[in-house]
Structure 1
Amino acid sequence: MRPTLRQLEYIVAVADTGQVGLAAEQLNVSQPSLSSQLAEVEADLGVTLFQRGRKGAKVTPVGEEVVRRARQILHEIQDLRASAQGGGIFHGRLRLGVLPSIGPYLLPGVVRRLHKEHPHFRLIVREESTRDLDEGLRSGRLDMIISTPEDHPGAQKTHLFTERLWAAMAQDHPLADLPATLSLADLAGQTFLTLGAGHRLSHVVAGMAAGAGGRVSDEYEGTSLDAIRLMAAMGAGIAILPNIYAATEAQRGTDVSLHFLSDDAAAREIVLVQPQLPEPRPGSEILADILRSEAQKILAQGRKP
């Protein structure tokens, strides 16, 4: 039956590396052998999968769909083997995508626990924007992602936790002396600072700004939570920070005044997302439980004052 699983591995390797020679090296086969196998697949399918040139091998439009399906088939085979061994995802490798507003603050504790409880489990983490996470999940580049649910229609989602949002402002900001808990009405007319448009958080903050009668800064678009916190500390506006971040990073320093936001709109849901299959990947609920547990430890530090 063609293409064979080995040929599918060749296709994915070339797509990932962009070079036939490098793919052959990674797979421990000769370059002529790999090239011959690719040509055989293209002949069998009647399509061109890669445009080869001096700069490497570029996936063609029809090749992108073949690569996507090849990834899915290889993942299914990995899941089948893991399920037969009784260990689910914990007897293999998981490529996990995560929002940069969560990953650096939640995952260190999660990774330590996974290494302790599942020493054979290999976790590969990629921090990307909401848009890129969705693309990675759809293309098969990522196995699961930790994200917000709104931007991943058709995928399977497992609730992890709901994260409250905080307002951070300069220590000498006129609102800094207000109580530790604020409402959006208290932020009327203020300039809000947030991440770029590719992040779901930016849409949440835009809705909050509209509800408060404020505006999202068009002079500065942050690339990280640290960046928008620093801009708030310098008086450029009010940074809206997720609770996980506020509890692990922002509260360590004294460069901003932190205020809990009491409004229902000042929150976001975080979920574990995986492709829609008849059943979740074996072991995914165990991973979800570990993520929830570690998140609750952090969130307990940053509860409402």
Structure 2
Amino acid sequence: MRPTLRQLEYIVAVAETGRIGVAADRLNVSQPSLSAQLAEVEADLGTTLFLRGRGGAKPTPVGEEVVRRARMILHEMEDLRAVARGGGIFQGRLRLGVLPSIGPYLLPGVVRRLHAEHPDLRLVIREESTHDLEEGLRSGRLDMIISTPEDHMGARAMPLFTEALWAAFALDHPQAEGAALALEVLENETLLTLGRKHRLSHIVEGLALRAGGRVSDEYEGTSLDAIRLMAASGAGVAVLPSVYAATEVQRGTNVGLRRLDHPEAHREIALMEPMRAEPTRGAAVLAEILQAEAAVILAE
């Protein structure tokens, strides 16, 4: 039956590298052999999958859909092998996408535990925006993601935890110290947040509207560290999620942190995978490990 699984691997490798020579090196085959296999697949399917030129190999619209489906088929084959070995995701490779506002703070402890308890797991982590995580899950580029479930309505979601949001003030700001902060206190304040590809930015925009504040249009952070440093300089008030805020308290922060006391000042975090007939074997165990690590961080 054609295309073969090996030919599907060729197709995906060319799509991911954008160059036939680089893909051939990755797959440990000669470039002429890979080119011949691609031509054979295109002849069998009766369509052109890639436009070749001096700039490399770019999938055609049909090619993009074939690449997406090829990834799904290869992932299912990985699942089949893992099930046969009895270990589910813990016996193979897992391409895990995660929000950059969560990954560096939640995953170090999770990765240590996974390496200790499941040494056969090959974990590949990608930090990406909400928008890019959705594309990765939908295209098959990512197997699972850790993100905000409302942005991935077609996925199977396993709830992990709820994060409260915190306001970070410069240390000389009059609101830098105190208990939970009423949202109204942010009236006329400039709020700092991540770029618009991130769900957090939309939550902050909603909070700014309710508080009578504004979201800065002069600076969009690419990381939570960046907007915290801007807040420390007095450029505005950074809105930070709990897992990050907890790690800041641990290492000694240069901002004053106060939890926002409002029903909408939070975000839900879940582990998600494409909707299939059955959940991936081992996904529930991974969710439990993530939940346990988050509980430790948020309790500190």
Specify the TM-score bucket, using the shorter chain as the normaliser: over 0.9
Moved more, 242-251 or 73-82: 242-251
Secondary structure of the corresponding residue to residue 249 of structure 1: helix
State the match for 1:184 in structure 2: 183
Q: Distance in 1 between matches of 2:96 and 2:285?
A: 15
Q: After TM superposition, give the deviation of residue 282 of structure 1 in Å.
A: 0.6
**Is structure 2 residue 242 aligned with structure 1 residue 246?**
no
Q: Give the corresponding residue for 2:210.
A: 211
| Aligned-pair CA distance for 1:174 | 2.3
User: 1:126-275 to 2 correspondence within 5 Å?
Assistant: 126-177=126-177, 179-249=178-248, 251-275=250-274
Counterpart-to-counterpart distance in 2, 1:13 and 1:252: 42
- Structure 1 segments of 4 or more deviating over 6 A? none
Aligned to 2:9: 9
Please give the alpha-carbon distance, in whole angstroms, between the structure 2 residues aligned to 1:222 and 1:14. 33
Q: 5+ residue gaps in structure 2? A: none
> How much has 1:76 moved relative to structure 2?
0.3
C-alpha separation between the residues in 1 aligned to 2:66 and 2:54?
A: 23
**Residues paired across the two proteins, number:** 300
Instruction: Report the alpha carbon displacement of residue 230 of structure 1 after superposing the two structures with TM.
Output: 0.7
- SS of 2:39's equivalent in the other structure is helix
Rounded to whole Å, the distance in 2 between the matches of 1:92 and 1:104 is 23
Deviates most, 218-227 or 91-100 = 218-227
Rounded to whole Å, the distance in 2 between the matches of 1:207 and 1:282 is 38
The one-letter code sitting in structure 2 at the alignment partner of 1:105 is Y
Q: Deviations over 1:199-242 (max 9, x none)?
A: 00000111111111111111111111011111111111111000
1:79 corresponding residue in structure 2: 79
Distance in 2 between residues matched to 1:197 and 1:29, nearest whole Å: 42
The alignment yields a C-alpha RMSD, in angstroms, of 1.0
Please give the alpha-carbon distance, in whole angstroms, between the structure 1 residues aligned to 2:249 and 2:207. Answer: 21
Q: Offset of 1:250 from its aligned partner?
A: 5.0
Specify the SS of the correspondent of 2:3. Answer: coil
Q: Which letter maps to 2:32?
A: P
Partner Cα distance (1:150, 1:254) in 2: 31
Asked if the contact 1:180–1:258 (Cα under 8 Å) also holds between the matched residues in 2, the reply is no
2-side partners of 1:110 and 1:71: how far apart?
Answer: 26
Separation in 1, partners of 2:273, 2:216? 34
Which 10-residue stretch deviates more, 289-298 or 246-255?
246-255
| Structure 1 letter corresponding to 2:291 | R
Q: Return the TM-score normalized by structure 2.
A: 0.98
- Secondary structure (helix, strand or coil) at the match of 2:29 reads coil
Unmatched segments (≥5 aa) in structure 1? none
Distance between the aligned counterparts of 1:99 and 1:274, measured in 2?
Answer: 15
- Which moves more between the two structures, 227-236 or 168-177? 168-177
What's the CA shift string for 1:186-208, capped at 9, x where partnerless?
A: 22221111001000000011111
CA 236–75 in structure 1, closer or farther in 2 if over 3 Å, else same = same
What is the rounded CA distance, in whole Å, between the counterparts of 1:31 and 1:235 in structure 2? 56
Deviations 1:278-298 (A, max 9, x none): 011110001000000001000
Q: Once the two structures are superposed, what CA deviation does each residue of 1:110-163 show, in whole Å capped at 9, x if it has no partner? A: 000000000111100000000000001111111100000111121111100001
| Matched-pair identity in % | 73
Shift of 1:18: 1.1
Q: Is the 8 A contact 1:95 1:142 kept in 2?
A: yes
Amino acid at match of 2:217: D
Which residue number corresponds to residue 19 of structure 1?
19
TM-score (norm 1): 0.96
Which residue in 2 is equivalent to 1:276?
A: 275
Matched, 1:287 2:279: no
| Deviation string, structure 1 residues 66-120 (Cα, Å, up to 9, x no partner) | 0000000000010011011110000000000000000000000000000000011
AA paired with 1:195?
L
Q: Which moved more, 1:182-191 or 1:164-173?
A: 182-191
